[in-house]
Amino acid sequence: MKALCTLIWLLGSAPVFAQQLNPADRSAAEAAIKTIRAQAIRAHMRFLSDSLLEGRAPGTRGYDIAAQYVATQMEAMGLRPAGVNGTWFQPVPLRKAVNDASRSSYVLVGDGKEQKLADTADYVFGGDLLRAESSVEAPLVFVGFGATAPEMNYDDYAGANVRNKIVVLIQGAPPRFPSTVRAYYSSRVVKEQNAVAHGAAGTTTILLPEDQKRVRWDWIVPQIKAGQVQWLDAARTPHDVFPELRVGALFSQHGAEMLFAGAPKTLDQAFAAARANQPQAFPLASSARIHRVSTHTEFESPNIIAKLEGSDPALRDQYVVYTAHVDHLGLCPPVEGDKVCHGAWDNASGTASLLEIARAFTSLPRSPRRSVLFVFVTGEEMGLLGSDYFAHFPAVLIENIIANLNIDGSPSMLTSSKYLTAYGGEHSSLGKNAESAAQQVGYKISPDLMPEEVLFIRSDQYSFVLQGVPSLFIIDGADGLDVGRKWLTTKYHTPLDNVNQPLDYESGARGARMNFLVGYEVAQQDQPPAWNEGDFFGSKFGRGRAANTRK
């Protein structure tokens, strides 16, 4: 927070949008955005977040009703289905693992003594997606954030021997890392890949105290106990699950203190070093004996996909992909007698906004030069599963997808913002498109002021980034900071995210208009978006795409 005022940057006064489109296209876009109405967005949201749909959890009747609603809306607009076998749907095969706490245990062993820890009070297990039952006994080694980032000259594992040991690591990544790079090194998959590369047998995660204040332990526990889910490949193997890791557990503050009893550093000293960006690794005083039992279920839940064919024969095989997730949590711990997690802002608002963006595209006198896919995904709340499945098995060739624009929580609906943050804009030329559209609609752009939330990896655009596709996720900016933080700590993933909360639908419609303008401009411009020279994500994931997308 130290340099808050200096972080905010404003757009210049030149009419950037006017420079990107010719007069006829600009006139068509201005007419199209007028079709995006607050009343229509509110109506979609009222239906999708109604108690009758019971929170739209994947694999439930409520989600299937929502999926049919989205499909029929797009059919009425005149869009074409782009799912499997000419349908609107792409079924996503899923496996869910729920831990059986009554048959599982986490025991600390040291100095000839055993200490059985208390489930939910000291720790909580995630379910094992590969095994119904497993056991491991191994020494515990603390490895800071568990990050190895050569481009940042940082390595928590330097000099550490963790082979066949359980690594204890802090959730998150060093605060000196740039926002989206910090998000990358905070992801579960990257941390687990790194643990496997160093020979670890399992992971145990602890939280900084400030993170436990932001995300309460009593809120975390029921969400983890609800189970872990992953999509299945053709061999029915869960994606991004590592058989080498035989345990995954999250510890409370009290549990973390027990882990650090007798360690070379106190828990507070380890936290202080982490905040100071100091790589660290040392053995803890105890070993762990762990037994974990999980139950498995398999089911399907569909993505919903529609297509608007482009008008330029030379460019229509290139695609701008819009995404919004339809799912939410289903039934959850009750608040004031309500046990439905309605998911009104997260993400009935994004689904509603994307439906009206699609309607705006169909209102154009001529389709844009490039084709547009509207992909409404499942399983976002379970770990970006529907979007990741689509990115691995897209309806068109992945190299022909030139951009992804994701809507997760309609921007400026929680508060009538003047600033928006365009996550991903700093990595590619899409940032210029976001600036252009923002100016046309009346927004200014601010950078990420909540890097601790690692939002860049927490929504569906990240699935496309991992496949090398320049992507954008636009959400409230600097003047929505306090409202956003309060919402995250009071309503996020609870029944209070409903249509009775204060929501500014007209402001949300303005955010939808901006998202339309970004995609329309990208679909019309001569060249596809490009990663910035030397960009972290472009270098890591985007190599080799440029030649495939330029005609």
CA–CA gap between residue 326 and residue 307 (Å, rounded): 18
**383 and 513, same domain (yes or no):** yes
Q: How far apart are CA 403 and CA 398, in angstroms?
A: 10
Report the 10 Å Cβ neighbour count for 295: 14
- Which CATH number is 251's domain given? 3.50.30.30
| pLDDT score, position 160 | 97
What are the C-alpha distances in Å from 79 to residues 362, 375, 406, 485?
A: 8, 12, 19, 37
Q: Decide if 397 is inside a domain.
A: yes
Confidence of residue 4 (pLDDT cuts 50, 70, 90): very low
Instruction: Report the DSSP pairing between strands 401-406 and 471-476.
Output: parallel
Write the pLDDT tens digit of every residue in 38-49: 999 999 999 999
Residues 292 and 309 in one domain: no
User: What angle do the packed helices 188-197 and 179-186 form, to 10 degrees?
Assistant: 60
pLDDT given for residue 3 in this prediction: 30
Contact (CB, 8 A) for 401 and 529: no
Q: Do residues 149 and 22 both lie within one domain?
A: no
Kind of pairing between the strands at 338-341 and 89-99: unpaired
Mean of per-residue pLDDT scores for the chain: 93
Does 184 have pLDDT greater than 50?
yes
Residues 253 and 400 in one domain: no
Position 549 scores a pLDDT of 39
Residue 447: the pLDDT is: 87
**In a shared domain, residues 389 and 452:** yes
Arithmetic mean of pLDDT, 289-314: 98
| pLDDT at 5 > cutoff 50 | no
Would you say 456 and 179 are in contact if contact means Cβ atoms under 8 Å apart? yes
Residue 451 within any structural domain of the chain: yes
pLDDT, residue 485, reads 87
The number of beta carbons lying within 10 Å of the beta carbon of residue 234 is 7
Q: Is residue 278 part of a domain?
A: yes
Residue 432 has a pLDDT of 96
Identity at 378, one-letter amino acid code: T
Residues 463 and 421 in one domain: yes
Claim to verify: residue 278 and residue 413 sit in the same structural domain: no
Lowest average pLDDT, out of 18-32, 103-117, 302-316, goes to 18-32
107's tokens? 């025991």
Residue 5 lies in a domain: no
- Among 186, 192, 206, residue whose Cα is nearest residue 251: 206
> Burial letters for 128-143: b for 16+ Cβ neighbours within 10 Å, e otherwise?
bbbeeebebebbbbbb
Residue 209: pLDDT over 60: yes
Instruction: Give CA separation, 420 vs 179, 358, 505, 512, 524, in Å.
Output: 16, 22, 16, 12, 23
What pLDDT sits at residue 17? 42
Report the pLDDT averaged over residues 484-493. Answer: 92
Does residue 179 form part of some domain?
A: yes
Under the banding of pLDDT at 50, 70 and 90, the label for residue 478 is confident
Rounding to the nearest 10 degrees, give the CA dihedral for residues 193, 187, 169, 290: -70
Residue 539 has pLDDT above 80, yes or no: yes
* Helical (H) or strand (E) element with 445: strand 444-445
Reduced to 3 states (helix: H, G, I; strand: E, B; else coil), residue 291 is: strand
Mean pLDDT lowest among 300-304, 361-365, 439-443: 439-443
Q: 323 lies in a domain?
A: no
Q: Is the pLDDT of residue 20 over 80?
A: no
If one counts the domains in the chain, the total is 2
Same domain, 179 and 70: no
Query: Which H helix or E strand runs over 43?
Result: helix 38-48
Tokens of 219: 């809120």
Is residue 216 domain-shared with residue 351, that is, in the same domain? Answer: no
CA distance 322 to 472: 10
Helix axes 350-362, 23-33, angle to 10 degrees: 130
Q: Residues 88-111: what's their mean pLDDT?
A: 97
Alpha-carbon distance of 83 to 90, in angstroms, equals 5
Q: How far is CA 118 from CA 111, 125, 286, 294, in A?
A: 20, 11, 17, 18
Residue-wise pLDDT for 342-351, tens only, equals 999 999 999 9
Is the pLDDT reported for residue 357 higher than 60?
yes
Question: Which pLDDT value is given to residue 416?
Answer: 87
Q: How many CA atoms lie within 13 A of 447 on its CB side?
A: 14
CB 206 within 8 A of CB 251: yes
pLDDT of residue 543: 66
| pLDDT at res. 279 | 98
Q: Are residues 416 and 280 in the same domain?
A: no
**Which region, left, alpha or beta, applies to residue 55 given φ > 0 means left and ψ of -120 to 50 means alpha?**
left
281 vs 142: CA distance, rounded Å: 5
pLDDT bucket at 9, cuts 50 / 70 / 90? very low
Domain identity same for 56 and 113: no
In the numeric block, the tokens 């200096």 are attached to 6
pLDDT digit string (tens) for 419-445? 999 999 999 999 999 999 999 999 999
Give CA–CA dist 275/266, Å, rounded: 14
Flag whether pLDDT at 15 surpasses 70: no
- Where residue 544 falls among pLDDT bands split at 50, 70, 90? low
Q: What is the pLDDT of residues 368-402, one digit of tens each?
A: 999 999 999 999 999 999 999 999 999 999 999 99
Q: What is the mean pLDDT of residues 193-212?
A: 97
If pLDDT is split at 50, 70 and 90, which confidence band does 479 have?
Answer: confident
Residue holding tokens 């709340």?
381
| Strand, coil or helix: 547 | helix
Residues 384 and 456 in one domain: yes
Assess if residue 367 is contained within a domain. Answer: no
CATH assignment at residue 333: 3.40.630.10
Least confident segment among 20-34, 270-284, 316-330: 20-34
Q: What span, in angstroms and rounded, lies between the C-alpha atoms of 278 and 145?
A: 10
What is the residue range of 344's domain? 10-88+305-318+329-362+377-549
Q: Which SS3 state, helix, strand or coil, does residue 206 take?
A: strand
